Amino acid sequence: MSIITMQDNQDMIAKDLMDRNLALEAVRVTEAAALAASRAVGMGDEKFADKLAVDAMRAAFDTLAISGRVVIGEGERDEAPMLYIGEEVGAGGPQVDIALDPLEGTTITAKGGLNAITVLAMTDKDGFLNAPDTYMEKMAVGRDIPADVLDLDAPMGDVLKKIASATDRKIADIMVCVMDRPRHDKIIAQIREAGARISLIQDGDVSAIVAASEAQETGIDLFVGTGGAPEGVLSAAALQCVGGHMLGRLVFRNDEEKARATKWGITDFNKIYTTDDLAKPDNVMFAATGVTNGPMMPGVKRHKGGAKTHSIVMRSKSGTVRRIESYHNFDRKTGFEAADE
């Protein structure tokens, strides 16, 4: 039998306090990226928007007391100048693995559309799946719907019947969120044939999956479709904090993508991943800030001399979800020059 000493207890309290502080500090990183990216809303330049977000997020990481390793980032080292997979960030401190998307919705931002966010998640070393930059089939529900309703191989009608039965509702009352892509035509047709309602989105499946986890607030019961695998890991991280269930399966377009997956330790190309496979539940922190308006949170509101941001921060240990409204005074030093230039 192990004995917990007073020093052990003090160490655990100190670590929990550090984790709580780190979760709140992570919001400063997503805020910096969102403030920077907001300068490019509606300007029609996706690369400009993404660069602003990446530069600001990278600079903000230098202020965090962590020894961080990017495991989900902007691509491999030869593809991205910064925030690439394997890059070390932070000012020194506890070792953490980081999944991030400095700007989920570059096209949305460039067009001034809805649902663009900046997002990151942190966990203990080796806590995230090293997902290659390929596609992933995804299906996700919130905490009030049991995990066994999910089935990537079943017709949508069968899945919707299970959800209706589990929630004691009619299929016509269920809302399914799907990205509006030609590859989803079959799924959309099956959902409509079954009699459920559909919310079509252009981009932003991380925020859409989080929206499905808050069905009572957003009205989204189920997310289904194929999107980026890295976004699948970020979505799983969020679900570990707020509650919910997800299945994912990698979709490879060519042998090069399979070779890249093998490089990151993936050998079963047909494996169906659960939420726990994608992001271990023990100690996950998730933060996101709105760039443009969406169901998850409002976007950046810029005004003379400053701006207002809306963010969400969550921890899997406590299950606490905090929504933060921040006012930024550009006449004073914020610590993030890239956001205020």
Tens digit of each residue's pLDDT (9 = 90 or more) over 40-76:
999 999 999 999 999 999 999 999 999 999 999 987 7
So what's the pLDDT on residue 8? 45
DSSP state of 153: T
Query: What's the Cα-to-Cα distance from 213 to each of 89, 101, 193, 248, rounded to whole Å?
Result: 30, 20, 24, 16
153, 212 Cβ separation under 8 angstroms: no
DSSP state of 31: H
So what's the pLDDT on residue 29? 96
DSSP H helices in the chain? 6-37, 46-61, 106-111, 156-167, 185-194, 205-213, 215-218, 229-242, 255-263, 275-278, 337-340
Q: Quote the CA–CA distance of 151 and 247 in Å, as a whole number.
A: 8
Name which of 214, 179, 217, 221 is nearest 196 in CA terms. 221
pTM, 2 dp: 0.89
Strand, coil or helix: 293: coil
Element (H, E) at 299: none
Residues 6+ apart with CB under 8 A from 83: 54, 57, 58, 70, 73, 74, 89, 100, 102
Q: Which residue has the tokens 């942190």?
A: 122
Bridge partners (DSSP) of residue 301 are: 308
So what's the pLDDT on residue 218? 82
Q: Which tokens go with 8? A: 């052990």
Residue type, 225: G
CB atoms within 10 A of CB 188: 18
Domain-wise residue ranges, the chain: 6-126+284-340, 135-278
Chain centroid to Cα 102, Å, comes to 10
Query: What's the Cα-to-Cα distance from 70 to each of 73, 83, 123, 196, 291, rounded to whole Å?
Result: 6, 7, 11, 39, 22
Q: Quote the CA–CA distance of 88 and 77 in Å, as a whole number.
A: 12
Query: What's the Cα-to-Cα distance from 97 to each of 59, 89, 119, 287, rounded to whole Å?
Result: 18, 10, 14, 14
Q: Quote the CA–CA distance of 100 and 224 in Å, as a whole number.
A: 21
Q: Quote the CA–CA distance of 82 and 264 in Å, as a whole number.
A: 19
Strand, coil or helix: 26: helix
CB atoms within 10 A of CB 210: 33
108, 202 Cβ separation under 8 angstroms: yes
Give Dmax (Cα) for the chain: 63
Q: Which fold has domain 135-278?
A: D-Maltodextrin-Binding Protein; domain 2 (3.40.190)
Q: Which percentage of the chain shows pLDDT scores above 70?
A: 90
Equal CATH topology for 6-126+284-340 and 135-278: no
So what's the pLDDT on residue 77? 65
Out of 3.40.50.11290, 3.30.710.10, 3.30.750.80, 3.30.540.10, the CATH code matching 6-126+284-340 is: 3.30.540.10
So what's the pLDDT on residue 333? 56
Q: What residue ranges of the chain have pLDDT lower than 50?
A: 1-2, 6-15, 17-18, 335-341
Q: Give the CB-side neighbour count of residue 207, counting CA atoms within 13 A.
A: 31
